[in-house]
Chain A
Amino acid sequence: MPEELIAIKGSNDGLLISLSTTEKWQSVTDELARRIDDKRAFFTGAAIVVELGARPVPKYELSSLKALLERRGLSLSLVRSDSDTTRQSARALELKSSSNGSPARSTRRYAEAMPANPEEAGGRGVIFRRTLRSGRTIHSEGHVVVFGDVNPGAKVIAAGDVIVWGKLRGTVHAGALGDETAVVCALDMNPGQLRIASYIVTSPPGKRGKILPEIASIRDNQIVVEARD
């Protein structure tokens, strides 16, 4: 491939998807749809920021992009562009937009404090320094470390490893882009659902023995959880 059609990485506002500014719009969006469909689990529920650079994008094209994402359960939370045409299209579709270098900032404090889409995102890795409570999701293209508990109803999705320095009771997905060498570690491993790459397990119900730090990994095509001593 001469030029990358699409680049995806984490950002403070959500997953940042940069689209090529020179390739044909149709082939760029086709590629985007293919990439999302390929890795459904990784994208699930993510807030998407689209970086369009200098390309002028008319309203109908932007609207089809928005529909493409929404059909896949993703919300287009921000359009970043250097083109006035594109930003006008965004306004017409009631999408938040910003030019590069001046990120969109909400003026109302409470709106900022409680984003509609309660997610954290990061590029290489994320460290979350408190308990991750119900309804919150961390997405990362790298590894995730949580200093605190992951409560029931909370979710961690990472392309790399997930380390929980606390009780893991929510849903966790390591190796979400397909890396079968990814692992999940927790001081108290009792997740609602644990996934590594395309493998899924749930915690066995009933009484649990002594609680030890444990590590989950894939061995012989299944997820194995074992104590580390």
Chain B
Amino acid sequence: MESEGNSQGGARVITVSSGKGGVGKTTATANLGISLASLGNRVAVIDADIGLRNLDIIMGLENRIVYDLVDVVEGRSKLRQAMIKHKKFDDLFLIPAAQTRDKMAVSPEDMTRVTEELREDFDYILIDSPAGIERGFRNALEPADEVLIVTNPEVSAVRDADRIVGLIEAAEKGPGRLIINRLKTDLVRKGEMLSSDDVYDILGLAIIGIIPEDEAVLSASNSGIPVALNMNSQAGMAFSHVARRIMGEDVPFMNLDGNPGIFRRLMRLFDGR
């Protein structure tokens, strides 16, 4: 993995990005943070979506916010004061976004400064990138050692992911690895949804996780108890597998991934595909 090492030592900074909104970036960030922490890592999660903060809600920490990222950047608070400890994991911290400002309040250099300050004390720093390709995305990209791209198995999300990957490559942050979120196995079987193979065919990126559609995700987000804490849910399981792959383990993909069965593969052979 070329992105494994980081020159500075300490934490690895991983930015979660997508281009298109609503594909599940924030949900993925929260769940990966929880999963990594539950596997014994020291984790900081930063919400870089200034103006539209969500990560605190999904992690169930909304009511504990006193200071936020903009307060830190503008010197109104120390970084430590803005870090909110998770209720369940002592080594998991959130740095929330400001709600009253916009993305111009933070610069890419500010983000680098904040992550440099955190690197020594953590194993992983996750950054939740806002949708779009403008300033907010650049803020989130600048300090990254690696980028995870979240996409849904649908044409418009894949197109936006492709655009983002182009920008990530141009910034020399590697091509990144892919999380395919909200895959509906039954639809893929019927040929009504893109399969993970189809997505790979277009983007040509290594896939680090395939998260099945799971109603537990929605109720978990609403209640502030991320699905990664629920090992009975397939999505929770899938996120925990992604976390272990981030840590360098070789975890086989669950057998639900909507890859075409042997029959369709044979059909493709006859098709010459």
Q: Are A133 and B163 in contact (CB under 8 A)?
A: yes
List the A residue with the shortest CB-CB distance to B201: A167
Q: Are A113 and B170 in contact (CB under 8 A)?
A: yes
Residues of B within 8 A of A118 (CB): 166-167, 170
Q: Are B202 and A211 in contact (CB under 8 A)?
A: no
A101 to B162, alpha carbons, bound, how many Å? 36
B142 part of interface (Cβ distance < 8 Å): yes
Q: Are B163 and A110 in contact (CB under 8 A)?
A: no
Within 8 A of B (CB), among A102-131: 108, 110, 113-115, 118, 130-131
Q: Are B159 and A152 in contact (CB under 8 A)?
A: yes
Residues of A within 8 A of B202 (CB): 151-152, 169
A169 to B160, alpha carbons, bound, how many Å? 15
Q: Are B204 and A211 in contact (CB under 8 A)?
A: no
Residues of A within 8 A of B127 (CB): none
A152 to B198, alpha carbons, bound, how many Å? 13
List the B residue with the shortest CB-CB distance to A131: B204
Q: Are B171 and A114 in contact (CB under 8 A)?
A: yes
B172 part of interface (Cβ distance < 8 Å): yes
A58 part of interface (Cβ distance < 8 Å): no
A110 to B141, alpha carbons, bound, how many Å? 9
Q: Are B138 and A133 in contact (CB under 8 A)?
A: no
Q: Are B167 and A207 in contact (CB under 8 A)?
A: no
A7 to B32, alpha carbons, bound, how many Å? 55
Which of B141, B170, B171, B271 neighbours the largest number of chain A CB atoms within 10 Å of its CB? B170
Partner of B163, one of A131, A153, A207: A153
Interface residues of B (CB under 8 A from A): 108, 138, 141-142, 159-160, 162-163, 165-167, 169-172, 202, 204, 271-273
The contact sample of 14 A-B pairs, CB cut-off 8 A, is A110-B138, A114-B170, A114-B171, A131-B204, A133-B162, A133-B163, A134-B159, A134-B162, A134-B163, A135-B163, A152-B162, A152-B202, A207-B271, A209-B271
